[in-house]
């Protein structure tokens, strides 16, 4: 077969080309377990009846790029909502990533050519008028500057945040709490606990609120049909009609059974 040999040569050549290109492309370095900064952003009931968790991380300036970054996420959260890198213009671009689950925690590995990265996921909130959520950041990461931001949901009251916030600010008609907590060593873990009362299911996002208001109300269940009692007059008429039909049938049967008259 004259074409078989060139095909075999091509099959041998393709792996060699791939290996050659791989040697020319930069190999991403592991970013390690140190972060220049980490901002934990918690937005309960923003656009879903859950809590939106956003981890905004910045790599140290001495980390060579591209880099492979590892961020922890609770396995109970399922798949990430978004994994992104932030360019110099501030715009977010989706980043290549993998997720490896190991017990209660999953590791999200993302490839970035910029120092600013972000991981977003949703976590469940308990049902009922009293809401509570505990965010946990596991040990094993050295963070030069740690901070948090918490959204005050619309319609919520008696809200508490632990550790306490050191500032409150307004944006887009919403209230946010924030705190700068400083340095975190690799042997330390970190938690943010928030609790509040909220009897309604109103969301804080303007777009989500518009959808809630535009949704048609649930149609009421049809009322069960009630049996109306028949009047005695109607019942009597039905009885008389029934007796008349029976009498007519008896007369017809008797006439059929009567022997014919002899001539």
**Cα separation of 48 and 84, whole Å?**
20
* Residue boundaries of the structural domains of the chain: 33-207
Q: Show the 3-state SS of 117-186.
A: EEEEEEECCCCCCEEEEEEEECCCCEEEEEEEEEEECCCCEEEEEECCCCEEEEECCEEEEEEEEEEECC
Per-residue pLDDT at 14: 34
Highest CATH level, class, for 33-207:
mainly beta
**Cα separation of 42 and 55, whole Å?**
9
**Cα separation of 108 and 53, whole Å?**
14
Kindly state the greatest CA–CA separation across the chain: 133
Question: Which residues of the chain carry a pLDDT beneath 70?
Answer: 1-27, 29, 216-263
């Amino acid at each position: 077969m004259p074409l078989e040999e060139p095909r075999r040569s091509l099959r041998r050549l393709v792996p060699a080309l791939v290996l050659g290109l791989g040697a020319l492309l930069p190999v991403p370095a592991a970013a390690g377990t140190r972060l220049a900064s980490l901002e934990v952003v918690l937005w309960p009931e923003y656009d879903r009846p859950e809590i939106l968790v956003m981890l905004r991380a910045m790599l140290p300036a001495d980390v060579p790029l591209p880099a492979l970054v590892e961020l922890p996420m609770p396995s109970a959260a399922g798949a990430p909502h978004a994994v992104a890198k932030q360019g110099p213009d501030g715009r977010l671009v989706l980043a290549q990533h993998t997720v490896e689950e190991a017990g209660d925690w999953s590791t999200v590995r993302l490839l970035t050519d910029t120092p600013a990265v972000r991981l977003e996921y949703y976590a469940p909130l308990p049902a009922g008028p009293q809401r509570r959520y505990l965010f946990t950041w596991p040990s094993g990461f050295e963070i030069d500057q740690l901070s948090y931001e918490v959204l005050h949901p619309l319609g919520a009251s008696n809200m508490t945040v632990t550790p306490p916030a050191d500032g409150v600010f307004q944006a887009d008609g919403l209230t946010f709490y924030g705190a700068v907590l400083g340095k975190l060593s690799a042997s330390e873990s970190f938690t943010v606990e928030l609790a509040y009362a909220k009897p309604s299911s109103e969301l804080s996002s303007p777009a989500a609120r518009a959808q809630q208001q535009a949704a048609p109300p649930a149609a009421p269940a049809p009322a069960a049909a009630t049996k109306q009692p028949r009047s005695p007059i109607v019942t009597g008429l039905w009885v008389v009609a029934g007796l008349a039909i029976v009498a007519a049938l008896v007369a017809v049967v008797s006439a059929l059974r009567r022997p014919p008259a002899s001539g």
